Structure 1
Amino acid sequence: MSTSSFNRRWAAVILETLTRHGVRHICIAPGSRSTPLTLAAAGNGAFICHTHFDERGLGHLALGLAKAGKAPVAVIVTSGTAVANLYPAIIEAGLTGERLVVLSADRPPELIDCGANQAIRQQGIFASHPSETLSLPRPTPDIPARWLVSTLDSALGRLSAGALHVNCPFAEPLYGELNDGGLAWQQTLGNWWQDDKPWLCEPHQATVIKQDDWPAWRRRRGVIVAGRLSAREGAQVAAWAQTLGWPLIGDVLSQTGQPLPCADLWLGNARAVTELDEADIVIQFGASLTGKRLLQWQATCRPQEYWIVDSLDGRLDPAHHRGRRLVADIGEWLARHPAEKRAPWAQDVAMLSAQAQARAEKMTAEFGEAQVARRLPLLLPEQGQLFLGNSLVVRLVDALARLPQGYPVWSNRGASGIDGLISTAAGVQRAKARPTLAVVGDLSALYDLNSLALLRQAPAPFVLLIVNNNGGQIFSLLPTPVNERERFYCMPQNVSFEQSAAMFGLSYSAPDSWQALCEVMSGAWQRPGATIVELSVEQTAGTRTLQQLLAQVSHL
């Protein structure tokens, strides 16, 4: 029997199994050892195939597709260090819940640890970060096809969040025309090939457990914290909080409309903290809180109980409060725990939030990083979406801006790394085909520069807004040693991204005023494809503005 043909038959079963679990997008890097998987994916009409030459960017492209598409996304890479480059994306997926199915091609066992080319130890390479791992044997007709399909079904059925790593060794030859070799083995699955259901169904469904004492708690004073939520969840949580009369502290990713904006400013005021400390209960919906003052308050608050409601497993509470960890769909949980109409109670907080907004508007009159962050909602495209990176400007958006309720906001706030931000944003857009604004810092853009290649296939207008403050100026907010700050922390690179845009054939603009920026953005939303907009701003103006506002609001 032809080895290359049987490899193809084996791979075809793997790829067809993925279709039964909702996989439609598949991201493929070039490679020889992965040929059986690549050809099986290319030959299966159920898949939309994406390619990228950089495996690190490819993994984040898949992450973005899974993030916005709410469905598992597959990744195919060849053996060797190509596999290791997926590590950051797998870590992020494990923390934020996106489902990735990583198919790593491998050398057969006899070529491992003997000096063979491009052969490394791939089994367990990602340690504890994948939710599930599966090491397949070398393809052989001695193993029934029903074993392969049911083994994959079982692993995919358990994958409620995070990554599944499937290691797939293939022996040579890898190339050759597909013949009848292995066809009988494949056909033992019968009419499964014409069906659309898994061979083996193992449903794992979480149920919402009603808190019987909720009617008593809802009559007391409470605070609601909203972390990363969907548009639907954000609107539901905001309405629920308003009915209860409880203050809602909304993160930049909450999509709640942030009814108490500028929380990262007013939480630095002792009056606000004193009033919030009167709460008997704090309920947090969603994880990945951004603001430093919010995280500090969350760590030090001592209500009678602290509840965290999220569909993800895990504790999600670095402060280790006494309370309840409730794993549930947030919308279903709210339906089982209805609000009761009560009068608002945190009057000082509401007043301080309004005053913080007024101070922020006055302080950000000049053109710069803080002003752009404050007025970012004015730049958003209609029926579009926003992707926020992990740099200083994101902290400024969280502290100064008020994003519209239900407007989709995406990020990589699990591990909060700067790797793969452009590629993740590209994946988010490909999943939704909406006009997309992505905001990153200059070092973040440099870190993922290869992924500008992905923006050449933007399915709708895409603006990559690079805020160039010449280095990692977020370190200016930290007590880093002054004499070593520039060389060892901020690391200014003194670069312009105009040549990078030209290299990848992308439109480029560098506006130097708010009016010019608005004109550039308006034009970018009217034409297809991607535009790089670079804002060269004074290095420390953003951090100074934030620090001045914090000082002012703390004394209100």
Structure 2
Amino acid sequence: MLHPTVYNTAQICFQLGVTHAVMSPGSRNAPLTISFARHEGISKRIIPDERAAGFVALGIAQLTKSPVVLCCTSGSALLNYAPAIAEAYYREIPLIVISADRPPELIDQRDGQTIRQLDSLQNHVKHTYGLPVVSNGKQSQEYQQKLIEALEKSVTPPYGPVHVNIPFKEPFYPAIDQVLEYGQVEIKERDQIKTDQQNIDISGYKKIVVLIGQHEPDQQLADWVSKISKLVPVIRSPLNNLSEGVEHVDAFINSQSDLKPDLLITSGLSVLSKKLKNFLRHHKPDKHLHFDPASVEVDTYQTNPAIIGQFLWESLNEHQFAHADRGYLTVWRTLEIKAKESVKSFLTGVNHSESKAAFDILQSLPKDSVLHLSNSMPVRYADLFGVKEGVHCLSNRGTSGIDGCTSTAVGSSLVSDKMNILITGDLAFLYDRNALFHNYALPNFRIIILNNQGGGIFRLIDGPANLPELEDYFETRHNRTAEYICAENGITYLTASDDKSLAAHLNSFYDSSKTAKVLEVFTDPETNQNVYKKLKQYIHERIKD
């Protein structure tokens, strides 16, 4: 017989803003499954693989900008959430992990499907909440209070995941004649967090750079950048989703001492470009201001920044930048133009390769689409080549792993009415094949796989390219394709092995369909290595002119 308090779990979540839940099948979590399954206000997705489920929930949360529940059974199921939870923690995305558990007296007693669940995610959640086994009114009150506290914690800045662990004793299922009704729970209104506005004086600095890390599209930020980018360099990259500013920075930033800023102004999450991060670490600004309303303390560039708990656009206006050195902005813009022209000029004249394919694919993207970039080379190609205005870019750059790139994109596709496009590598796709193990057709989902028969990035970065262990231990060379994965999941499968076939497929690839589509682009790893190195050298020589 289900206890009314346990059954009411979904209602409490709903009252606190949860409208999506991702469930994985199990027996111990049956009371929670029934609670969410029967709640009409919450959309449910059933994803059998918990690792994939964690990233699907992350994809839903990042697009809806609201907390999403993850629910699993006891035992190792919970541990499979860990990669997605770590990503959510560093991306400040609210996920509510609700795990069913065995009663406390059975832990470490060699009972089946029983592990030390409490605190197993503690390093990458904002807090862990151990709820009681409910059998009376007093425990019901504690259960509700802790659940409410957990949900509110997840959406208190900085947002992030929380873990709610609930032990259950049998029976897990309602009695045949049991009537299950949701009850309204009284929830006190939370106090709003207020910050004191500081007066920021930047009048003593001439060479000013504004650097926004990974950031969702934001109209207030965009309006602010539209004004400021005419006065000082504002660095634009795919992952900060700005439509104005200096882009292609990864192509030209090197050791130019004349680009050293007097003042660095930053906001947002992580920055992709390793070259840019190294440049700022070696050419430290005299002053660094980091704006973060949640006042999270970070020191990415080892500059001892002043952390300011305010929104950037509320703190500085264009008049405060009027004194900036316009010649400094001109230097950045000149390098940007040279880099952009160099990329286009070089790639126009080369044969089929991964660099050329990535460039053509990025140029083909439909406006107002959502672009998901897997880790390794796809996100780096986008940073090097740029992405056209109007494309919403997303990537798992919290922990920068390949493990859930496809699943995250699936989650976003489930709650989006736009075309969602994932550009991924062959290893990332094969590693996350269970992202497609579900019953959702995803007609608005497109996957482009850059298949170079292994981890091609290891040929392009310093270190492993010349080692005898390259192919077996770093690239992990293989001969697999996505063909049979697509066949078993009812997904349209296309291939391209040259520029002509790629262009022909891209011409109709984004057209409407009843199911998802996959386009696998095959390239030769040795050719990719040669073309990429020549491209970098070509850009370097043009920048010097």
TM-score (norm 1): 0.90
* Residues 396 and 546, structure 1, Cα contact 8 Å, conserved in 2: no
Give yes or no for the alignment of 1:285 onto 2:285. Answer: no
Match of 1:90 among 85, 90, 94: 85
Q: Is the 8 A contact 1:71 1:99 kept in 2?
A: yes
Q: 2:527 aligned to 523, 541, 546, which one?
A: 541
By how many angstroms is 1:534 displaced? 0.3
Say if 2:225 is the partner of 1:238. Answer: yes
Q: Which residue of 1 aligns with 2:310?
A: 328
The structure-2 alpha-carbon separation of the partners of 1:136 and 1:451, relative to structure 1 and needing over 3 Å to count, comes to same
SS of 1:493's partner is coil
CA contact 1:62–1:100 (8 Å) conserved in 2 = yes
Query: Is 1:444 aligned to 2:432, yes or no?
Result: no
State how far apart, in whole Å, the 2-side matches of 1:98 and 1:20 are: 19
| 2:165 paired residue number | 167
Q: Of 452, 472, 481, which residue of structure 2 is paired with 1:469?
A: 452
- SS for the counterpart of 2:383 is helix
Q: How does 1:218-297 map to 2 (within 5 A)?
A: 220-232=206-218, 235-243=222-230, 245-257=231-243, 259-268=245-254, 270=255, 273-277=256-260, 279-297=261-279
2:353–2:531: 8 Å Cα contact kept in structure 1?
A: no
Structure 1 residue 507, shift from structure 2 partner: 0.2
Match for residue 298 of structure 1? 280
Shift of 1:155: 2.6
1:382 to 1:417, Cα distance in 2 relative to 1, 3 A: same
8 Å CA contact 2:396–2:405 kept in 1: the answer is yes
Alignment of 1:153-552 (within 5 A): 153-159=148-154, 160=156, 161-177=159-175, 179=177, 192=184, 199-207=187-195, 209-214=197-202, 216=203, 220-232=206-218, 235-243=222-230, 245-257=231-243, 259-268=245-254, 270=255, 273-277=256-260, 279-311=261-293, 313-333=295-315, 339-340=321-322, 344-346=326-328, 347-365=330-348, 366-399=351-384, 401-454=385-438, 456-458=440-442, 460-476=443-459, 477-480=461-464, 482-528=467-513, 529-552=515-538
| 1:125 aligns with one of 98, 120, 131 | 120
How does the TM-score come out when normalised to structure 2?
Answer: 0.91
Paired residue type of 2:411: G
Call closer, same or farther: CA 1:524–1:171 in 2, change over 3 Å.
Answer: same
Give a deviation string over 1:463-507, Cα, whole Å, max 9, x none: 101101111111221312511111111111211111111111100
Aligned equivalent of 2:61, options 57, 61, 66: 66
**C-alpha distance in 2, partners of 1:336/1:121?**
54
1:261-287 deviation line (CA, Å, top 9, x unaligned): 32111102x4xx22211x210112212
Q: Is the 8 A contact 1:224 1:284 kept in 2?
A: yes
Q: Distance in 2 between matches of 1:371 and 1:316?
A: 37
CA distance in 1, matches of 2:160, 2:179: 36
Q: List gaps (5 residues or longer) in structure 1.
A: none
1:342, distance to aligned residue in structure 2 (A): 5.7
CA 1:523–1:447: 2 relative to 1, 3 Å:
same
Q: CA deviation at 1:446?
A: 0.9
Q: Which amino acid aligns with 1:238?
A: V
Indicate the SS of the match to 2:337.
helix
Is 2:146 the counterpart of 1:151?
yes
Q: Is the 8 A contact 2:132 2:143 kept in 1?
A: no
Structure 2 spans left out of the alignment, 5+ residues: none
Residue 19 to residue 182, structure 1, CA distance change in 2 (3 Å): closer
1:549/1:344 Cα in 2 relative to 1: closer, same or farther (>3 Å)?
farther
Secondary structure of 2:415's match? helix
- For residue 312 of structure 1, report the CA deviation from its aligned partner: 5.1
Give 1:414 shift: 0.5
Aligned length: 532
CA contact (8 A) 1:456 1:506 kept: no
Q: Does the Cα contact within 8 Å between 2:367 and 2:390 map onto a contact in 1?
A: no
- The Cα shift of 1:238 comes to 3.0
Asked if structure 2 preserves the Cα contact closer than 8 Å seen for 1:103 and 1:165, the reply is yes
Residue 35 of structure 2 corresponds to residue 35 of structure 1 = no
Q: Which amino acid aligns with 1:416?
A: S
| Aligned residue identity for 2:67 | P
Q: Quickly say closer, same or farther: Cα 1:237–1:449, change in 2 above 3 A.
A: farther
Q: How big is each residue's C-alpha offset from its partner over 1:117-149, in whole Å with a ceiling of 9 and x where there is no partner? A: 101110001132101210001111142544332
Give, in whole Å, the separation in 2 of the partners of 1:377 and 1:235. 22
- Structure 1 residues 552 and 287, CA gap change in structure 2 (3 angstroms): same
Mean Cα deviation higher: 327-336 or 61-70:
327-336
Moved over 6 A (4+): 335-338
Q: Does the Cα contact within 8 Å between 1:469 and 1:540 map onto a contact in 2?
A: no
Closer/same/farther in 2, CA of residues 212 and 30 from structure 1, 3 Å limit: same
Letter in 2 for 1:172: E
- Mapped to 1, the partners of 2:229 and 2:81 lie a distance apart of 43
Residue 388 to residue 471, structure 1, CA distance change in 2 (3 Å): same
Residue 150 of structure 1, CA deviation: 2.6
Range moving further from structure 2, 344-353 or 25-34: 344-353
Percent of pairs identical after alignment? 26
Give 1:267's aligned amino acid.
I
| Aligned match of 1:80 | 75
User: In the aligned structure 2, how far is the partner of 1:545 from the partner of 1:252?
Assistant: 23
